[in-house]
Amino acid sequence: MREMTYCMECGKELPEDAKYCSQCGAPVKVSEWEEFQTSTDDLIRRVKELVREGNVTRIIIRNEKGETMFEIPVTVGVIGALFAPYLAALGAIAALVTRCTVAVERRQ
């Protein structure tokens, strides 16, 4: 799966590391990250809420050591039918650890 971002000005799909839009030349804005800790009992509910918020572009689940366990690129497809396999994977993570850190990338 290729990581993509979108131009905030014209909406063109761009490579994740793009600094400027190849179509309109607008600088690509840096997205905002926030992190919170949660118990894995709550993890699936929190992730579902984030996906519904609509401006979230990526969700990363880290364990207590700060190691990335799972990454969800929140695309239109993921919000729809493709979300179920991610929820199954989150369930597997919840069985392994009791607390985790959720890092959320938001489109501004």
Query: Per CB under 5 A, which region of 25-33, 44-52, 67-75, 85-93 contacts Zn ion?
Result: 25-33
Smallest distance from Zn ion to CB 24, Å = 3
User: Under the criterion CB under 5 A, does residue 10 sit at the interface with Zn ion?
Assistant: yes
Residues 6+ apart with CB under 8 A from 50: 56, 59, 74, 102, 104
Distance between first and last Cα of the chain: 23
Q: Which of 3, 4, 16, 23 binds Zn ion (CB under 5 A)?
A: 23
User: Under the criterion CB under 5 A, does residue 9 sit at the interface with Zn ion?
Assistant: yes
User: Under the criterion CB under 5 A, does residue 7 sit at the interface with Zn ion?
Assistant: yes
Q: Which amino acid is at 33?
A: W
User: Under the criterion CB under 5 A, does residue 43 sit at the interface with Zn ion?
Assistant: no
Q: Which of 24, 82, 84, 92 binds Zn ion (CB under 5 A)?
A: 24
User: Under the criterion CB under 5 A, does residue 104 sit at the interface with Zn ion?
Assistant: no
Distance CA 105, CA 108 (A): 9
**Any idea which residue has 């979300």 for tokens?**
83
Distance CA 35, CA 23 (A): 32
